[in-house]
Structure 1
Amino acid sequence: MTDLKLATITDTTASGTVTFTAQDVLTLLATPTNCATQASEISFNLCASAKTFASVYDASCSSTFSSVGTPAFVVKYDPQAPTKPSIGKVIARDSALSVQVDGVEAKSTVVVEVTPLTTADGGTLEDAGADAGEDAGDVDAGDVDAGDVDAGDVDAGLADAGTVVPAPVGPTLRFRKAAGEGNVVADGLINGVTYRVQARVIDEAGNEGDLSDAAEGTPVKSNGLFDAYVDAGGQERGGCAATGGGIAGGAVLAALGIWLSSRRKVS
């Protein structure tokens, strides 16, 4: 292909700079293309050559070019978006979700998006209880004989309602992490709220891939040591030296031992 030419360098200059865009290079290919039509990744070897001095005694330029840049520097033009990842696992934590994202290319950034689907009490934004003021008892179902209309005339199976996607009840939160650094932890969430979880990948060139299929997760409160003691039946409030309680101290300690061994760190 045609060279990208640098301005003339004088005999007192040891270096120079040439500036070019991907568009400049693509239009010089044997089969010219451009940024809008080049859909796949392409690499170029960037080499440099120059006319050197004829000899140590002759400051005039040689008639031939010599390579001044070896090995070749590789320039990569990548317009291709990364493939859609998948959610491998969503692990509930206290006020957080730990999300395992699979199918991520190296040297990319993983973005996890979480969107609340329920409120803290498990209801939706349009709580069915809000309609309770309209008492269904005001209309007597007995006034209309359901037998007068043959439901068999219309086959309900012909009109498939499909899967109903829950409507979000709050803003979407985004969390980023470099590929290869473990699970993405979405923190600052509300315990008891169900969140829709999706992920996308942004590659090294800045191309954004499609969102993954949705998964769901619900953060749960993680009881502390004292809460676990109470849940195990402990009743003493008299300090470390106190004994007795609702169940034998040994049984409480055994229960706490099980609780401690069951807790595990999740990345």
Structure 2
Amino acid sequence: MKKILRFFMSLVIVFFIGFFLAGGRDAMNPSAFSRVIESAVPTRESVPEKTNTQPNNFAARLKRFVFLPDAVNEKVPAKNFIPVSDMPPRLTEAVIAVEDTRFYSHPGFDINGIFRAALVNLQYGEVTEGASTITQQLVKNLFLSQEQTMGRKIEEVLLALDFEFRYSKNEILALYLNSIYFGSGYYGIYNASKGYFGKAPSELTLPEAAMLAGLPNAPSLYSPYEDFILAKKRQFIVLDAMVRAGYIDERTANSAKIEPLYLAH
């Protein structure tokens, strides 16, 4: 019962956030609302290697809401699927620290993050900060196109709420890590771990986990096979984020930064 109430309360909150940020009555103007939402939620790098071929008409969208688990199973391969319990804690901590620090406390979208991002973006007059949660990223990666419209943003939030209603946080995190693109043709944490370091995810060290956690933000850019120096810089960002989140101390982070990395190829 509490989850149902939380679900519907979240829908109400989404509406009032849009109304407030778009400027009162102007929130009813679709273009105004769309601009605010677009400024708060970042556009992640598109992945041309894997296009979304799932129908996106009304019937298909309704089917996703009604039969979400079936739709998810069609998109996330069961082969080499790694549950969170079989992943090293440092890997999941690294991902949460750099992608969504409030992952275990928000209902699928981060209200604080939306307000913060909207205010920062308004201050600078451009998109300098985003607020996509891991759940929202999962939704976009599995089902949605890269178009920036109000309708797509609303669908993204509604599907994120639906995910949170149907799945546990660890299940959502597992779906994300097993489907996200890590660059160099590797989809999912198993393939990325094997492809970059020649080992199973359970064997990843902290430096390796931090490097992999930094890739989904811009996989083609940060792939160590494309630009190892840039990948190392991104790894530093992840390790610093882990320090800020309280997962590791500065000494551990500094040690991980200088530890040699041996790529599989």
The alignment's TM-score, normalised by the length of structure 1, stands at 0.21
Higher helix share: 2
Whose radius of gyration is greater, 1 or 2?
Answer: 1
